[in-house]
């Protein structure tokens, strides 16, 4: 039996701020392809979605709050839910966006459109305050305060053709970005020189044309096959002549976001050339070496811990431990459907309240048991609530294996956590500016706690041993600033992430 007790574990999880897609084809259903892509990328942002398409003469679009399928559907006069996707006869290019935010209004929804150029963006520009001062921009434009809206304004301060304006503005931007731009007749895709965020190029299978998307997981439903990644610093033009690289900015060291692999990306994606599920399974195999003795149950924290958990339980160490591989939480998939919060950790406010709203305990797998939980990361401390609830349901002991090092520092590149809200970032848990795992363990109420090391994390990516030092991330072209505080780009000029 399982006892009803709500617990939204995912309220404690990091969240990327959005996803982008773009399509160019003279003989395909442009809006349909874009919406299908956004549905597959809805895990990257669930508070709103939008598309803009063009037929070479004009633009039409739609954007609204909610999950993608909610935004692009409506009830007809008979009460039947039908598609509500904007149409434009002869449309051959367009872009789309799913949004996550920490605050803001409907004015922040993307894509944005101004004077013949539309834009959607995944990431966070770190010098936007400096650019606002340079160009004398007000605090908001058309009701929007986001870095993306100001990026479009910067583009229109440049000289030349639309393409020349885009390329000139990109040279001014610092930080993390994967942009898609659409003019009336051309699609552009651009990735920042550090390569923080993923962006891939695909070719339509049964039509002439190309797509770009934040992750490979979107390609199949978009009717496309993988061509290649957009390179760090590359801008690609896609038009009637095909696709071509029109700029390649190699001024910076590569700093790919390691959290894309740990949590943000879908498990069926390939990110930075790494199959995500294979990576998470290898992380779990490493965690298995740190299993406590004499445990009864090895369980995932749903759903974020499942990848690492699969690696733990497939290991010889776990099989020989005598532990059972069981679930201790039941996810009620029917809760929060109306509000559209399937990944409710995206709620910008009331995270503690959100942490009481989705999962129930399977008491027969908990009472009288010594339990090991496997999860991808610990951020704000909902693990403490998980432990209290498991103990309230009779757990004898609760241990945790975590597939990421302690997260001690804010991310300035588009993931939604600041230092002041991190358990491992609290000053009382960081005497001498070094995280004290024992203090964190005590705060969370765990009987034991193991965080994966820097070296173990990178070895799961690379397949070879590395030194366990903070510099290991940049040495291997990754960003681990949230763990080490070593920022590849200063984050002082960021704005509050609202789109």
Catalytic residues: 18
Do 260 and 198 contact (CB within 8 A), yes or no? yes
Do 345 and 320 contact (CB within 8 A), yes or no? no
Dihedral sign for Cα 165, 168, 174, 179, please: positive
Instruction: Give the strand pairing for 187-191 and 175-182.
Output: antiparallel
What SS3 class is residue 309? helix
C-alpha to C-alpha distance for 315 and 370, rounded to whole angstroms: 19
Q: How far is C-alpha 346 from the geometric centre of its chain's CA atoms?
A: 11
Omega of the bond leading into 111 within 30 degrees of 0 (cis): yes
> CA 333 → CA 308, 330, 413, distances in Å?
22, 9, 31
Give the burial class of 431: count Cβ atoms within 10 A of its Cβ; 0-12 exposed, 13-18 middle, 19 or more buried: exposed
C-alpha to C-alpha distance for 397 and 216, rounded to whole angstroms: 40
Burial 214-239 (b: 16+ CB within 10 A, else e): bbbbbbebbbbeeeebbbbbbbbbbb
Nearest to 194 by CA among 475, 479, 485: 479
Nearest to 94 by CA among 144, 122, 58, 47: 58
Do 97 and 179 contact (CB within 8 A), yes or no? no
């Amino acid at each position: 039996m399982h006892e009803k007790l709500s617990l939204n574990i995912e309220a404690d999880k990091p969240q990327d701020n959005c996803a982008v897609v773009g399509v160019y084809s003279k003989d395909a259903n442009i809006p349909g392809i874009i919406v299908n892509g956004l549905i597959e990328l809805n895990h990257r942002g669930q508070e709103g979605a939008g598309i803009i398409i063009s037929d070479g003469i004009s633009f039409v679009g739609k954007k609204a709050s909610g999950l993608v399928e909610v935004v692009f559907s409506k009830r007809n006069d008979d009460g039947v839910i039908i598609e509500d996707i904007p149409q434009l006869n002869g449309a051959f290019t367009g872009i789309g966006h799913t949004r996550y935010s920490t605050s803001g209004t409907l004015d922040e929804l993307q894509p944005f459109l101004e004077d013949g150029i539309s834009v959607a963006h995944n990431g966070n520009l770190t010098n936007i305050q400096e650019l606002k001062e340079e160009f004398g921009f007000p605090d908001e434009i058309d009701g929007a305060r986001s870095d993306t809206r100001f990026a479009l304004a910067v583009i229109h301060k440049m000289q030349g053709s639309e393409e020349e304006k885009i390329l000139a503005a990109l040279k001014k931007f610092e930080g993390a970005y994967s942009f898609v731009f659409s003019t009336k007749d051309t699609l552009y895709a651009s990735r920042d020189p550090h390569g923080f965020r993923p962006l891939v190029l695909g070719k339509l299978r049964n039509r002439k044309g190309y797509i770009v998307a934040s992750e490979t997981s979107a390609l199949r439903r978009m009717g496309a096959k993988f061509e290649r990644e957009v390179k760090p610093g590359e801008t690609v033009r896609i038009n009637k002549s095909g696709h071509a690289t029109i700029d390649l900015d190699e001024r910076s060291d590569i700093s790919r976001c390691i959290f894309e692999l740990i949590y943000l990306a879908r498990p069926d994606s390939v990110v930075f050339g790494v199959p995500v599920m294979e990576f998470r399974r290898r992380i779990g195999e490493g965690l298995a070496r740190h299993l406590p003795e004499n445990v009864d149950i090895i369980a995932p924290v749903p759903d974020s811990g499942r990848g690492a958990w699969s690696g733990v339980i497939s290991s010889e160490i776990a099989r020989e431990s005598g532990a059972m591989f069981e679930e201790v939480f039941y996810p009620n998939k029917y809760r929060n459907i109306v509000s559209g919060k399937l990944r409710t950790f995206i709620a910008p406010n009331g995270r503690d309240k959100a942490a009481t709203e989705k999962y129930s305990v399977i008491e027969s797998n908990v009472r009288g048991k010594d339990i090991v939980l496997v999860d991808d990361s610990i951020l704000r401390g909902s693990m403490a609530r998980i432990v209290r609830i498991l103990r309230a349901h009779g757990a004898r002991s609760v241990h945790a294996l975590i597939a990421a090092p302690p997260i001690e520092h804010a991310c300035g590149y588009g993931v939604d956590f600041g230092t002041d809200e991190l358990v491992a970032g609290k000053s009382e848990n960081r005497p001498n500016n070094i995280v004290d795992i024992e203090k964190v363990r005590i705060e969370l109420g765990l009987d034991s706690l193991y965080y994966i090391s820097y070296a173990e994390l990178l070895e799961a990516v690379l397949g070879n041993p590395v030194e366990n030092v903070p510099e290991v991330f940049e040495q291997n072209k990754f960003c681990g600033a949230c763990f080490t505080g070593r920022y590849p780009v200063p984050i002082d000029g960021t704005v509050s992430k609202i789109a």
